[in-house]
Structure 1
Amino acid sequence: MFVIVRHGNTFEAGEPPRRIGARTDLPLTAAGLAQADALGAHFAAQNLGFLRVLASPLARTRQTADAILAHLPGAPEAEPVDWLREIDHGPDEDRTEPEVLARIGAEALAAWDARAEPPPGWTVDAEVRIAAWRALFSGDHGPTLLVTSNGAARFALIAAGLEVPGGMKLATGSYGIIRRGEDGVLGLAEWSVRP
């Protein structure tokens, strides 16, 4: 079982959200910390135990992982993994959605959301990310918690050959679960669920 978590909120209520990627290391807001705490309480209530915990090295993902693990005594510490780091939004880094849309257009953004096709100027390292997810999925690590970002999480779906009817986006403070069946085939149990 692979539980994939997107970090909590990094923008205060009323603050316009911006495209924040690998180059901007924002901490969680109070609301983001509450989301991470809710995830930890949720996983503890479901008696989820993890044998391995991987997290992006960015502050927002490390804080999310730490808050979750505070609810799971005996869980291993989070291992920093660079391929879980957020993508680089290039010229759109730190820009609001209207600014991003004005530069790349709605079609390019829709292609990113539906198929992880990066808009011009974004650096995603898709091949590296897909290969890393596939290597993880092919191993026998036991229940694994991964704490990452929206840009990186979508490549888990591609690597596993899974589709989500509502789109690839993983909302802040939410999680998805990919399970391996007895036949070895990966299946999507949940995606973008907030506790």
Structure 2
Amino acid sequence: MRAIIVRHGDTFRHDEEPRRIGARTDLPLVESGRAQAQRLAASFAGMAIDACLTSSLRRTRETAAIVAPGLRARPTDWLREIDHGPDEGLPETAVRARIGAAALLAWETRAVAPTDWIVDAAARLKAWQTFFATAHGTILLVTSNGAARFALLALGMPPAKLRTGAYGEIVDGRLIAWDVRPDEQSRC
């Protein structure tokens, strides 16, 4: 089994202040996000992809349509974005001021969500474990950074950020690459 885990492309222009968006904010890709998806598509050209799973939000479906135009993406509940509760839509500086650096660090390094975010970590972890145990072939999964972190946890690894327009690759339960942007040479 080969899982290609892609984070959707940019949803903010470079001159906009990024905000913490998740399950309740259905943003489209911006021009740079579509370009990121096109670079991903070029890097996977010629790869036989058997299925494509996404979250239900537009940014993941748009990314999948560009990366794998011949496949029908199947929205899957366990790939849905995190619900950031009262922090949804706020700039990162406001989120940090409200919940504190320690809470954000716990989320980034251990996937422990702040108290008022809506994250069923146990269910997400189980879904990834079940996927890895039962999936066959090459599967493209397009999701968010918050949801993707549980893939690494399912492998017994600490979570790590997956930047917009980047991918990770897991083959037969082994991490091959993480946070790779086709226009860069970073590999895990």
Structure 2 counterpart SS, 1:109: helix
Q: Residues 85 and 152 of structure 1 are in contact (CA less than 8 Å); yes or no, is this contact kept in structure 2?
A: yes
Shift in Å at residue 130 of structure 1? 1.0
Listed as ranges, the gaps of 5+ residues in structure 1 are 181-185
Partner of 1:136: 131
TM-score by length of structure 2 reads: 0.93
CA RMSD of aligned residues (A): 1.1
The one of 165, 168, 174 equivalent to 1:173 is 165
Rounded Cα–Cα distance in structure 2 between residues aligned with 1:48 and 1:113:
31
The one of 136, 145, 153 equivalent to 1:150 is 145
Partner of 2:79: 84
AA paired with 2:180?
V
Partner of 2:102: 107
TM-score by length of structure 1 reads: 0.90
AA paired with 2:157?
L
Aligned residues: percent identity? 56
AA paired with 2:137?
G
Tell me: CA distance 1:96–1:140, structure 2 relative to 1, closer, same or farther (3 Å).
Answer: closer
After the TM superposition, which residues 58-97 of structure 1 pair with which residues of structure 2 at under 5 Å, given as runs? 58-70=57-69, 75-97=70-92
Rounded Cα–Cα distance in structure 2 between residues aligned with 1:191 and 1:131:
21
**4+ runs deviating over 4 angstroms:** none
Listed as ranges, the gaps of 5+ residues in structure 2 are 183-188
AA paired with 1:81?
T
The one of 150, 166, 180 equivalent to 1:193 is 180
AA paired with 2:53?
L
- The Cα offsets for residues 86-130 of structure 1, whole Å up to 9 and x where unpaired, read as 000001000001100001111110111111110121111111111
Rounded Cα–Cα distance in structure 2 between residues aligned with 1:106 and 1:125:
22
